[in-house]
Each structure stands twice: as C-alpha cells, then as structure tokens.
Amino acid sequence: MLRVRGKGRKGWLPAFRDTTLFKVAYAYGLRRNETRMLDLTDFGRNPEGSEFGEYGTLLVRYGKAKKGSPPKRRSVLTAWRWTPGTQQCQQADIDA
C-alpha cells in the first residue's frame, strides 16, 4: 500500500480504506453488516489491556439479530498486537 502511495497513483486512498476495513473485520471477527455499521466511537479502552490504548475493545452496536428482534449489541476485545496500529495509521491519514 505504501508503495502505491509513494508513486502518487490515483486511487490509493480508497484501496487503503478497504485494506483497513478488511483487517479490522478479520481482527474482531465481524460480519458484513457489523463492519458496515462501524464508527470510530465504537472503539474504547480496555483496563486489562492497556497496551492496546484507545483500541482495546470494540462495541458492536448492530450485531446479528434473531428473527423479529432488534440487533444484538456485544463487546469484542482486541487480541492481536497489530490491530491498534492498523486503526492508528488509518486515523492519521484521515486527519492529515
């Protein structure tokens, strides 16, 4: 991804966004709809996992629902050390 960005190619930003979404969906075991409905405010700290910083937990607001019931909410803990770096890198590019 960085190689494509360094060459100044058109379309690197959407490709970077998609790569980040795939990594987050894989890291937290999210379904398609759960991934689609994510927001930055869904990430939070985990007091037991301080090494993950602001990305220690993920609140899934629109989880899988049973037939005829509203979406189920759940919290997913961060398990891999590479996961927070993915979100921090994406956030830095958005802010820049």
Higher-confidence residue: 2 or 26? 26
Q: Is the pTM of this model over 0.85?
A: no
For 2, counting Cβ atoms within 10 Å of its Cβ (0-12 exposed, 13-18 middle, 19+ buried), the class is exposed
Dihedral Cα 63, 88, 92, 16, nearest 10 deg = -60
What pLDDT sits at residue 5? 63
What pLDDT sits at residue 4? 63
C-beta contacts of 38-41 below 8 A and 24+ residues apart: 40/91
Q: Rounded CA gap, 46 and 39, in Å?
A: 18
- 74-77 and 43-44 as β-strands: parallel, antiparallel, unpaired? unpaired
